[in-house]
Structure 1
Amino acid sequence: MTRFAANITMLFTEVPMLSRPGLAQEAGFDGVEVLFPHDIPAADWKRALLGLPVVLMNTHPGDWSAGERGFAAVPEAVPAFRDSFLRSADLANALDVPRLHVMAGVARGPEAEQVYRENLAWAAATAPDLTLTIEPLNHEDMPGYFLADFDQAARILDDVGLPRIGLQFDLWHAARIHGRAETVWDRHKDRVAHVQVAGFPTRAEPGGGGVDLTRLCREVDALDKGLWVGAEYRPAAATVKGLGWLAALKARDRAIG
């Protein structure tokens, strides 16, 4: 059965952050994702989670207001990358988060790619209990971000060649970058370590845009890799009013199982 996680940075924003895991659990989600949980102590998170697993978080991005978007591919920021990675890995371990998305940052060129590969290898050796993910982000939403193409990501993963570093397949970004998210999925699904869904072209509730969510979930299950499907979208109204997609997919699982 497909396991669904609510991205509580984007969902249930009607209430404070630490109140969101409870709402996610009530809504039928099996776990949560958090983009940047770093400024809340682990003890507070543990009380708020009510036993719900955090299945994915990001490395600390640095000063977001100053334009920083992580450091893994930024040649002049290797010390900053290592500091941010260690901070993030410590929190992930404290909360039993199995997957850590390593943010590449704003950079370009061959030197950036070389540094990116080296930093990914260092991170995998430094945190052997974590699965690391890399995620292409489209340049309209994230101008200048180094990793902005799924084929580029696949090539880097193949070059690094470490099984605990995988692709984070975000349906929204795949569609924005390449036009057809299903084509990207078909080409790269064997590299995927985490899945995220949203509607296209609005990034509201999942559905539309030529993507068959039932097929996607069926293939996620068939890969038999313990993957999660994260709901990372901007609700069109109150979050709980737009969860028909979740109910429908869970009903499919009950009918099959």
Structure 2
Amino acid sequence: MKFSANLGFLWHDRPLPEAIRLAAAAGFDAVECHFPYETDPAEVRAALSDTGLPMLALNTLPGDRNAGEFGLYALPGREEDGRRVIRQAVDYAALIGARKVHVMAGLASGEPAHRTFLSSLVFASDLAAKAGLTVLIEPINMQDVPGYFLNTTDQALEILAELDRPNVKLMFDCYHVHIMEGDLASRLNACLPMIGHVQIAAVPGRGEPDQGAIDYVAVMKQLQQIGYDGFIGAEYRPRATVEEGLGWMQRLRV
């Protein structure tokens, strides 16, 4: 298995170029991040070049976090803001060689939000296609983010089927899926054709994937058996330092 360090969680207190180099030193195969926009893309590109790590993905800006916003893409009336942040994300991704952009849906519900999300994803898909990028959508559990528009893989699969765009895929975060739906084995089987990226963390607590309710050894075996050949994103909160908690990676590689 190939593991990616999510630098929104791991080494998040370090400048992004330094975090990239720390991820390489720790043995990760790739990196991904959340909101890199305040970092000079030339510095990010240099760190990626120095380490040989690919940058897999980044997120669109979530809006005004002080006002409680957690994404813009499903918010009726905020379509122009959504277009602005996807343009920013695609442009930055192109500058650093990132492969995918995760668009954050936001806190919304109902049919107007569904229609807004679909129309916004059409715009994102067209824009990303011109740059050779994939767009990711991610169900997020209602315990951590009450009111988030996209909650389950079934909802995501319905949206992806209705959208029918080959460059829009599912971010399958095992932590969120387990909390909302359980039965990761059946969900992985059902979602495989649409999965664009997989992420892991322990349940509960969102710590290292070496404890808790999810047997990640079994998950890795299933991913191999069903033919998933992408990266596994480590998006967890370290219990101590990142380096002290990395024993899980060697066990899951086997």
Whether TM-score is above 0.5 comes out as yes
- 1:110 is aligned to 111
- 2:11 is aligned to 12
Displacement of 1:222 in angstroms is: 5.0
- 2:198 is aligned to 195
The equivalent position to 2:160 in structure 1, one of 157, 170, 181, is 157
- The answer on 1:119 being equivalent to 2:120 is yes
Retained in 1: the 8 A contact 2:4–2:28? yes
Q: Residue type of the partner of 1:28?
A: G
- The answer on 1:214 being equivalent to 2:217 is yes
Task: Measure the CA separation in 2 of the matches of 1:113 and 1:79.
Answer: 16
Q: Residue type of the partner of 1:103?
A: M
When the two chains are superposed, the root-mean-square deviation of aligned CA atoms in Å is 1.7
- Unpaired runs of 5+ residues, structure 1, are 253-257
- 2:65 is aligned to 64
- The answer on 1:87 being equivalent to 2:70 is no
Displacement of 1:69 in angstroms is: 1.6
Task: Measure the CA separation in 2 of the matches of 1:183 and 1:222.
Answer: 13
Displacement of 1:164 in angstroms is: 1.2
How many pairs align? 250
Change in CA separation of 1:31 and 1:117 when aligned onto 2, cut-off 3 Å: same
Q: Residue type of the partner of 1:201?
A: P
Retained in 2: the 8 A contact 1:220–1:227? no
Matched residue of 2:144: which SS? coil
Task: Measure the CA separation in 2 of the matches of 1:185 and 1:212.
Answer: 14
Retained in 2: the 8 A contact 1:200–1:207? no
Matched residue of 1:229: which SS? strand
Matched residue of 2:57: which SS? strand
Task: Measure the CA separation in 2 of the matches of 1:62 and 1:115.
Answer: 16
Displacement of 1:97 in angstroms is: 0.8
The equivalent position to 2:187 in structure 1, one of 178, 184, 188, is 184
Retained in 2: the 8 A contact 1:172–1:181? no
- The answer on 1:245 being equivalent to 2:244 is no
Displacement of 1:179 in angstroms is: 3.0
Displacement of 1:183 in angstroms is: 3.4
Task: Measure the CA separation in 2 of the matches of 1:23 and 1:136.
Answer: 29
Displacement of 1:39 in angstroms is: 1.5
The equivalent position to 1:205 in structure 2, one of 188, 204, 208, is 208
TM-score, normalisation: structure 2: 0.92
Change in CA separation of 1:93 and 1:224 when aligned onto 2, cut-off 3 Å: farther
- The answer on 1:24 being equivalent to 2:27 is no
Change in CA separation of 1:122 and 1:74 when aligned onto 2, cut-off 3 Å: same
Matched residue of 2:77: which SS? helix
Displacement of 1:124 in angstroms is: 0.8
C-alpha distance after superposition, 1:149-174 (max 9, x if no partner): 22111111111111211110001101
Task: Measure the CA separation in 2 of the matches of 1:238 and 1:58.
Answer: 24
Change in CA separation of 1:163 and 1:153 when aligned onto 2, cut-off 3 Å: same
Retained in 1: the 8 A contact 2:71–2:104? yes
Change in CA separation of 1:97 and 1:219 when aligned onto 2, cut-off 3 Å: farther
Change in CA separation of 1:147 and 1:88 when aligned onto 2, cut-off 3 Å: same
Change in CA separation of 1:249 and 1:179 when aligned onto 2, cut-off 3 Å: closer
Matched residue of 1:93: which SS? helix
Task: Measure the CA separation in 1 of the matches of 2:93 and 2:228.
Answer: 20
Matched residue of 1:217: which SS? helix
Task: Measure the CA separation in 1 of the matches of 2:69 and 2:46.
Answer: 30
Task: Measure the CA separation in 1 of the matches of 2:39 and 2:90.
Answer: 15
C-alpha distance after superposition, 1:126-150 (max 9, x if no partner): 2201111100111221121111122
Matched residue of 2:78: which SS? helix
Change in CA separation of 1:59 and 1:48 when aligned onto 2, cut-off 3 Å: same
- 1:97 is aligned to 98
Task: Measure the CA separation in 2 of the matches of 1:237 and 1:106.
Answer: 31
Matched residue of 1:203: which SS? coil
Task: Measure the CA separation in 1 of the matches of 2:91 and 2:34.
Answer: 15
Q: Percent of aligned positions with the same letter in both sequences?
A: 36
